[in-house]
Chain A
Amino acid sequence: MSVLLRVEDLAVAYGHVEAVKDVSFELKDGEITALVGANGAGKSTTLLALSGLLPPKSGRILFEEEDITRLRPHEIVRKGIVQVAEGRAILTTLTVRENLALGAYTRRDSAGVKDSLEQVFHLFPRLQDRAEQFAGNLSGGEQQMLAIGRALMAKPRLLLLDEPSMGLAPILVQEILRTLAEINRTGLTMLLVEQNVRQALKIARHGYVIETGRIVLADSGENLLNHPGVVEAYLGT
C-alpha cells in the first residue's frame, strides 16, 4: 500500500508550550489509522496542524509526496483532506440540508454533489428525515452523523476524525465506528483520533500511541490491543 500522508518530525507549540514534539507517522492509502492517547497528549493539536489551523513550529507534512505544511486551511480542504472536528462543529443555526450543502463548498460538479448527498442520506437515513430542521435540534448521535456526512460531501481523499465517540452513549459509539469502518471499505483513508482506545484500535489497521506530545508506540491495531503497556495504561484490567 502506498503512503497517502507522511508527517515528519512535526512540532507544534501554543506560545512557548510545545504540545507536539517531533511527531512522525504515516497513513497508508485506503486504511484506517488510529492515533490514541490520553486527554492532553497532543492528538487534537496534531489534527489542527494537519488542517492548517495551527502553524507547525517545525517539521513537514507531505500529502501524496507534496509538501502541504504551510498551506492555508481552505487550500488543504481543496487537496481533499477534510476534518470532522472535536465537539462535532456542526452549524446549529443552519438546517441539516444547509450543513450538508456547505460540506461540498469546495466542489463545482453539481451532479457529483447530488450523488454524494444521496449516498449520505443512504448511509444516515435519519438525516434525510430531518433535512429541513435546524442542526441544533438534532440529538448528539445525529449531530455526529451530520458532521461525518458533511465531511463526506467534500468527496475527501483523507478523513481526519477528532474524537467521534465523544459524549455519545456506548451503543451509539459502536454504531458510529461501525459506520466509519463501512465507509472505509469504499476505499477512503482515515485518521481516527480517539480517547476510546479499545474501540478505535478494533477498527484500525495501524495505530500510534501518543503521550505528552510524543509517539511512544507504533504497531498494527491488533498488536496494540494486546500490548501490555497499552492494556495497562488505556484498557484497564
Chain B
Amino acid sequence: MFAQQLANALTLGSVYALFALGFTLVFGVLAVINLSHGAVFMVGSYAALVLVTRFQAPLWLALIGAMLVSGGIGLLVDVLILKPLRARNAPHLIPMIATIGVAIMLTSAGQGLFGAEIHRFPEETLPAGELVIAGIHLRALEIGIVAVAFALMALLFVVLRRTQLGRALRAIAESPKAAYLLGINVEGLFHLTSFVAAALGGVAGVLIGLDFNAITPQMGQPILHKGIAVIILGGMGDIRGALIGGLFLGFAEVMSKAYLSSQMGDAVAFGLLFLILLVRPSGLFGRVLERKA
C-alpha cells in the first residue's frame, strides 16, 4: 500500500516539478512572475485532447502538438505583452498583473470553446497495461508520465549546465547588462525562454490530464498556486529547487491524502511548505539575489 502511494506521489510530483520548472525559468531569466502559466497548462491539455479526438493523432504526436501550441502562446505573451512593458521599464508588478489578464482570457476562451464540463481522453487512446513489481501495480500510463517529465527535465538541465546557450541564459539571469555586452541577443533569448517554459507547462497539462483523465477550463488555477508554492519553496529562479520542491509537494499531497485525510491533503501539504519557509525564508536553494542592472 505504501509503495503504491509512493508511485502515485512520484507521478504527481514529477508533473508538479515539470510545471514549476517552466515557471521558475521565466522568473530566473525574465524576472517576471508569469501568472498565465496555469492557463497555458490548461491550453496544453485541451490541445492534446483535440488532436487525439478530432484528428485521431497518436498520443506522442498530441504531446508534441500541445507543446507547440502552448509554447506558441507563451511566445505571443512575451512578444505582445511583456516586451512592450520591458521597453517601458515597467515596475515588476505590472507584467505580473498583465499575465493575470492573459490567464483570465485563456480560461474564458477555454470555457467558450469547450464548455465548463469535464472532458476526458477516450479510454482506448490511453496506454493500457500495467507492470507489477514486488506487488506494486504501476500503470503504463504512470511510467510514461514519469519518463516524459524526467526526460524533459534532464534535457533542460543538460542544456543549462553544458551548452553555450545555457551559459547565456544563466548570464542573463545574473545580469542582463553583462549579457548584452557579451553579444548575447537578450531579447531573442527572452522569447526563446518564454516559448520553452510555456511548452513545458503545456506538457505538464497533458500529463495531468492523462493522470486524472479529467480536463476542465479551470484546471490551471490550483496548479498555479502549487507552482508558486513550489518555486518559493525551492528558491525563486532555481532549477534544482523547482525539481525538489515539485517532488516534495507531490509526496506531501499524496501521503497526507492517503494517511491523514482525503479532504485535507492540500492543507497539509501547504502547511508543511509554510513550516519549511519559516526555517528557510529564501527557500531550499534560494540565495538572496539582488539582480544587477
Contact = CB atoms under 8 A, between A and B. Distances in A.
Contacts of B174: 91-94
Contacts of B185: 72, 74
A150 B174 CA distance: 16
B167 interface: yes
User: Which residue, A52, A83, A102, has most C-beta atoms of chain B within 10 A?
Assistant: A102
Contacts of A150: 182
B178 A93 contact: no
The listed residue with most A CB atoms (<10 A of its CB), out of B168, B181, B182, B183, is B181
Contacts of A102: 164, 167-168, 171, 182, 184
Nearest to B173: A93
Contacts of B164: 101-102, 105
A77 interface: yes
A89 interface: yes
Contacts of A103: 182
A77 B177 CA distance: 13
Interface majority SS on A: helix, strand, loop or mixed?
loop
A85 interface: yes
Contact of A74 (B167, B170, B177, B183): B183
A154 B175 contact: no
B183 A91 contact: no
B211 to A, nearest CB: 35
Contacts of A78: 183
A77 B170 contact: no
Contacts, number: 67
A73 B178 contact: no
B178 A94 contact: no
A51 B180 contact: yes
B181 A83 contact: yes
B290 to A, nearest CB: 12
Nearest to B287: A93
A85 B178 contact: yes
A176 B280 CA distance: 42
Contact of B177 (A82, A89, A92): A89
Contacts of B273: none
- Give the dominant DSSP class at B's interface: helix
B119 to A, nearest CB: 43
Interface string A57-74: 000000000000000111
Interface residues of B, number: 19
Contacts of A53: 177, 180-181
Interface string B11-49: 000000000000000000000000000000000000000
Nearest to A106: B183
A64 B186 CA distance: 26
Interface string B186-226: 11000000000000000000000000000000000000000
B175 A91 contact: yes
Given A101-B164, A102-B164, A94 B171 contact: yes
Contacts of A142: none
B181 A73 contact: yes
B8 to A, nearest CB: 36
B167 A77 contact: no
B184 A91 contact: no
Given A91-B174, A93-B174, A98-B167, A105 B181 contact: no
A32 interface: no
Contacts of A101: 164, 167
B171 A77 contact: no
A78 B184 CA distance: 10
B184 A74 contact: yes
B182 A77 contact: yes
Contact of A91 (B171, B180, B186, B187): B171
A173 to B, nearest CB: 22
A98 B164 CA distance: 9
Interface in B134-170: 164, 167-168, 170
Interface in A9-63: 51-53
B188 to A, nearest CB: 8
Most buried by B among A51, A72, A91: A91
13 contacts: A53-B180, A53-B181, A73-B181, A82-B181, A89-B181, A91-B170, A91-B174, A102-B164, A103-B182, A105-B164, A105-B183, A106-B183, A150-B182
Going nearest first, the 4 A-B pairs with the smallest beta carbon separation are A77-B183, A73-B180, A106-B183, A89-B178
Given A85-B178, A91-B170, 13 more contacts: A53-B181, A73-B186, A74-B185, A74-B186, A85-B181, A91-B178, A94-B167, A94-B174, A101-B164, A105-B164, A106-B182, A106-B183, A154-B183
